[in-house]
Structure 1
Amino acid sequence: MGEFIGELIALFADGFHRRWHVARTRRRLAAGRPVRIPCSARSGPRPEYVNGSLHITPGARAAAFRARGTDRLDLPAGGTFHEPEPDTWHSQDWAATAYLPPGAEQPVHLQVDSRYLPMVHVALADPRSRQVA
């Protein structure tokens, strides 16, 4: 029974913390300040998903995915979004999207908590926009 209660406490604490972080991220983007969004990414040179964060600066021409032990992956803004195949997802708990940067041949697969996904779409599709969705 104690194990079950411990799991419930962790679940509720994570939910509260995530809601707080999403609200803080929205406020920072609306104010024109840079943010980091927890994210997993997979691209051509990376055959598997890597956990890291997406660094977004409002108005910048690119966002950057950074993870420990890997090179920085720049994602130029102005590309298109596509729905990835469900069997390519890293985590079924996070929303997945495939981003095809302008001039690229292969998309970058991104997975973020679904509450962050609209912010990622706005930041990469129209970097001059301060709309936070």
Structure 2
Amino acid sequence: MGEFIGELMALFADGFYRRWHVARTTRRLAAGRPVRVPCSARPERRTGYTNGSLHITPGADSVALVSRDDGRLDLPAGGTFHEPEPDTWHSQDWAATGYLPPGAGELVYLQVDSRYLPMVHVALADPRSQRTA
């Protein structure tokens, strides 16, 4: 019974924390401050996903994908989004999308919590809309 209660506590705590972090991230972006979004990513040529974070600076021309394993990968903004891989999702809460950077770049599959996905789309597709005066 104790394990069950522990699992329920972790489930509710994670949901509360994630809602709080999404609200905080939205406020920081609206204020023109940089944010980090938890993410898993996989370039098309690799087989496994790497956990890391997207470092988004409002109005910047690129978004940095930073992980401990692979270091830093800059994703130029202004690319296109494509359908995700259907069988590689971490969980139902994590939305996946394929991002093709402009200029013959390599397709990168990104997985973020579904509540962060609109922020990621704006940061990569239309970063000029986030520029502050």
Same fold (TM over 0.5): yes
Matches within 5 A, 1:1-133: 1-44=1-44, 46-87=46-87, 89-93=88-92, 94-130=94-130
Deviations 1:10-65 (A, max 9, x none): 10010000000000000000111000000000004543100000000001000000
| Length, aligned pairs only | 130
- Distance of 2:62 and 2:122 partners within structure 1: 12
Q: Can you give the 5+ residue segments of structure 2 that lack an aligned partner in the other structure?
A: none
Give 2:119's aligned amino acid: M
Give, in angstroms, the shift of residue 129 of structure 1.
Answer: 1.2
Instruction: List 4+ stretches of structure 1 deviating above 2 A.
Output: 44-47
Aligned CA-pair RMSD = 1.5
Q: Can you give the 5+ residue segments of structure 1 that lack an aligned partner in the other structure?
A: none
Give, in angstroms, the shift of residue 83 of structure 1.
Answer: 1.2
More divergent stretch after superposition (78-87 vs 119-128):
78-87
Q: Percent identity?
A: 76
Q: How does the TM-score come out when normalised to structure 2?
A: 0.92
Deviations 1:75-108 (A, max 9, x none): 0000010112302x24133100000000135310
Q: How does the TM-score come out when normalised to structure 1?
A: 0.92
